[in-house]
Chains A and B, each alone.
Chain A
Amino acid sequence: MTGNNLADYLTLGLIMFSIGAVGVIVRRNPIVIFMCIELMLNAVNLTFLAFARFTPTSAALADRAESFMSGQMMVVFVMAVAAAEVAVGLGIIMAIYRLRNEIDIDEMNLLKG
């Protein structure tokens, strides 16, 4: 897509991030909360790639890891980590469900002091 400037992509990423943040707070189902977290991670990915594409490379970074490449590397690793995180997190939710037979996040307040 030509003719876009950086601000457009960043705006999109910002809106997605905000929606995801609100969703984490508002929803009570932990699976949905997870999904909102994924939303936020994706927004961040988009921001990284937008910056990788549009910002200039400094001379110091030119030989080692160009900033446009490093932005993509970041996204790669975010994806990997997100995958692992989802796997483990859903496993936790399953274990909790098996224990309590319900997954209302408001009921899980054993950390209450």
Chain B
Amino acid sequence: MGNFELIWWVLALPVIGFLIQSLLGQRIVGLFGQTYGKKVAGTLAVLPIAAAFVLGAGLTLTLMDMPATSRSVVMTLFDWITVYSISIPFEVVIDPLSMTMVLVVTGIGSLIHLYATGYMAEERDYTRFFTYLNLFIAAMLILVLGNNLAMMFIGWEGVGLCSYLLIGFWYKDLANAKAANKAFITNRVGDWGFMLGMFAIVAFLGTNADRFPAGDGRYLSFDRMLPVLASLLSENPGIATLIALLLFVGAMGKSAQFPLYNWLPDAMAGPTPVSALIHAATMVTAGVVMVNRMHVVFEFSPVASGVVAVVGTFTALFAALIAFGQTDIKKVLAYSTVSQLGYMFVACGVGAYWAGMFHVVTHAFFKALLFLGSGAVIHAMSHEQDMRWYGNLRKYIPITTATMTVGWLAIIGVPYLFAGFYSKEAIIAAALGNHHATFLGGSTEFTGWLLLVGAALTTAYMTRMTLLTFGGAQGRWQQPETYEAAHADHHAHADHGHRAHAHHHGHAHDDPHGFFYTDEELARREALEPHEHHHHLTPDYKPKEVPVSMWVPLAVLALLSTGGTAYFMEHHHAFQHWLYPPFGGEHGTGLTMIKGHPVIDPEAISGHPHGMLGNKMALVGLSVAVMLIGLAYAWAVYGKRLPDKEGFDMSRWAKFRLWAMNQFGYDAFILKLLVYEGGKTVGNACAALDQKLVDGIVNLTGAVAQGLGGLARQAQTGYVRGYALVMLMGGVALLVYLVSALSGGAR
């Protein structure tokens, strides 16, 4: 069995790092002084994650030594909840899926921690940042390692919390706080679906408890639940659809699919390492991990799988179109993430779950690279994020340029040489050839074709971004016309002042209720603080390359984004067999295929994958053609300079591009519907309820009393004879009663 106890250290190390940072961090900085203290604290933040990675790698090697069908080890720490017949222990599972994710999370996590020690070096709240970041790694590890849905949910909620804390890191700016709220609340909507899915599973299994091994109440644990579900759901496809859709709602919230995607672009308000780690590589892929764990449910429901595939396709195309209208470099990457997540969900929808995970891994590499590179660019350009100021940066920051180019080539899918190609091919091939998912009764082959269109769009906007940033003959910030154009248009300037900076003192008009500091207070605090960033772009500004701590991670990620790793993962279906060993194992972890399963056979997908294309090379040729089309368009438009139609003068922008910039009105619509109008409606309804119903009841009691009194008053006529009459009538009645009672009783 080896030393699987080490998994507890893998979980504990980030927690220890979190505790050190939170309890001792400020003391260390105070003890050693600003510069050295931060270096020490930063090192103490990176080391636990790196150590966890090493331990994880060791455990993975141990796991690889085991035979393919029994790679699943469940370790229990303690019995957490035992209520009636349900038992939810604190347990983790060591199997290929969880170890893959552990490696991704801790590996990329440690690289980003290293990067952040350089990026955040001028922050006053340096240790607070690493506290949250370590906590995030801990929560993410619980999510991927957990052996039951409740443990996964702990991690789910934990990463949502850390996302909120980190997006709102620079909380003094009201816009950041709003973005953090938006992320958390939108996630919550997804969590509602996830919880309902959990309840549905427990309820369904509870009514069929006789199929469980006796005495074991771990309804939610994967090793117990999934084999039972497999046998039960074949008879109840409707329940499978229900559970699958509910769980997918949770995945939609966490992984930013339409309609719950609108928090991700706003989340770019957080620091760039956060965007790289959380909103590109790890947290947003939690939905894909969850679908992979619960793939049994999706396999029994073609309808739900079809929904997943279609939602993924729509999201991929929608986000790609929006990316064309963005001028902020981080926003382009954010929408790119949403789009790529759509690709992953298409893979899961058509039944090729392993392809989704493959894309998770390669996307983690190149997207983290792209984000960290953009962070380097922003750092070099003195915190200016608007691409309209860039241009010709290859002359000044060569290392960043080289690594970002690698990332760019990976994401557009240059064949065989870079990683993105392999995973995207796997997804599109599976989508074209699948027989599993059905949408509205028909086949979902159209998703494959649409994903090809999406690939063209991806190439186009990513090339646009790269060319605007690094291409061109001369940097636009060096040309005086740019400043005139920017200051002439008030919008651009305001955008420049607000949106481009996530980090600046809050303006009073941003904070009408005075929740944050007043301007005088802020000025006073600013005088105490060492730094407040404010861009100082002038025509003679020279960008500087980033320090070592920042470009080393870039180089490592660039290396991983080249084709080498992905080639070995794809070769002989190595990764697929790693996650989903072919047709083995009655032992139930989430990943071994269930024997005799009639619905899906992963060999069938990759064996006859390409639908009407017929063979693999045709698909490669088609995707190369698509890529070249995107490249040609982008080169033609953006190759030399920024077109006038996308400059600072917003009136010259094309209508469609402006519409795309506003997310086609979706975000405004949702906010208006749910928050402003919806809030007003609910408020009015509650007010009406209070005034009409509650007050009405109170007034009604008064009115009733008044009415009854008014009625009763009429008996007091004041007429003596009337009173006498009533007395007589009463007397007669009494006598009648007595006579009847007595005569009835006595006789």
Chain A residues engaging chain B, CB cutoff 8 angstroms: 21, 24-26, 28, 105-106, 108-113
Contacts and interface: CB of A to CB of B under 8 A. Distances in A.
Interchain residue pairs A-B with the least CB separation, the first 6 = A109-B718, A112-B718, A113-B716, A111-B718, A25-B725, A113-B713
Interface in B695-747: 713, 716-721, 724-725, 728
14 contacts: A24-B721, A24-B724, A25-B725, A25-B728, A26-B721, A28-B721, A105-B721, A106-B719, A109-B718, A109-B719, A110-B718, A111-B716, A112-B717, A112-B718
Interface of B: 713, 716-721, 724-725, 728
A113 B718 CA distance: 7
Contacts of A28: 721
Contacts of A105: 720-721
B105 to A, nearest CB: 84
Contacts of A109: 717-719
B717 A106 contact: no
A110 B718 CA distance: 6
A110 B719 CA distance: 9
A109 B717 CA distance: 7
A106 B716 contact: no
B740 to A, nearest CB: 19
A112 B719 CA distance: 8
Contacts of B725: 25
A61 to B, nearest CB: 23
Contacts of A24: 721, 724
Nearest to B723: A111
Contacts of B720: 105, 108
Nearest to B714: A113
Contacts of B724: 24-25
Contacts of A112: 716-718
A112 B728 CA distance: 20
Contacts of B721: 24-26, 28, 105-106
B710 to A, nearest CB: 11
A24 B724 CA distance: 7
A41 to B, nearest CB: 15
Contacts of B719: 106, 109
A105 B717 CA distance: 13
B242 to A, nearest CB: 67
Nearest to A22: B728
Nearest to B720: A105
Nearest to A113: B716
A21 B735 CA distance: 15
A24 B721 CA distance: 7
A55 B291 CA distance: 102
Given A24-B724, A112-B716, 4 more contacts: A25-B725, A109-B717, A110-B718, A113-B713
A110 B716 CA distance: 10
- Scoring A25, A26, A109, A112 by chain B CB atoms within 10 A of each residue's CB, the highest score goes to A25
- Scoring B713, B717, B721 by chain A CB atoms within 10 A of each residue's CB, the highest score goes to B721
A105 B718 CA distance: 10
A105 B720 CA distance: 7
A19 B645 CA distance: 114
Nearest to B721: A25
A111 B713 CA distance: 11
B202 to A, nearest CB: 66
- Scoring A28, A108, A110, A111 by chain B CB atoms within 10 A of each residue's CB, the highest score goes to A111
Nearest to A28: B721
A6 B218 CA distance: 93
A90 to B, nearest CB: 16
A113 B725 CA distance: 18
Contacts of A108: 718, 720
B707 to A, nearest CB: 16
Contacts of A21: 728
A79 B132 CA distance: 104
Contacts of B716: 111-113
B247 to A, nearest CB: 71
A104 B404 CA distance: 114
Contacts of B728: 21, 25
Contacts of A113: 713, 716, 718
- Scoring B713, B717, B718, B728 by chain A CB atoms within 10 A of each residue's CB, the highest score goes to B718
Nearest to B713: A113
A105 B719 CA distance: 8
Nearest to A111: B718
B609 to A, nearest CB: 95
Nearest to B728: A21
Contacts of B717: 109, 112
Nearest to A26: B721
Contacts of B718: 108-113
Contacts of B713: 113
A29 to B, nearest CB: 11
Nearest to A112: B718
A46 B281 CA distance: 113
A107 B725 CA distance: 17
B735 to A, nearest CB: 12
B714 to A, nearest CB: 8
A28 B719 CA distance: 11
Contacts of A25: 721, 724-725, 728
A22 to B, nearest CB: 9
B251 to A, nearest CB: 73
A113 B728 CA distance: 21
B107 to A, nearest CB: 91
A53 B713 CA distance: 48
A28 B728 CA distance: 17
A31 B233 CA distance: 98
A101 to B, nearest CB: 19
A20 to B, nearest CB: 11
A84 to B, nearest CB: 21
Contacts of A110: 718
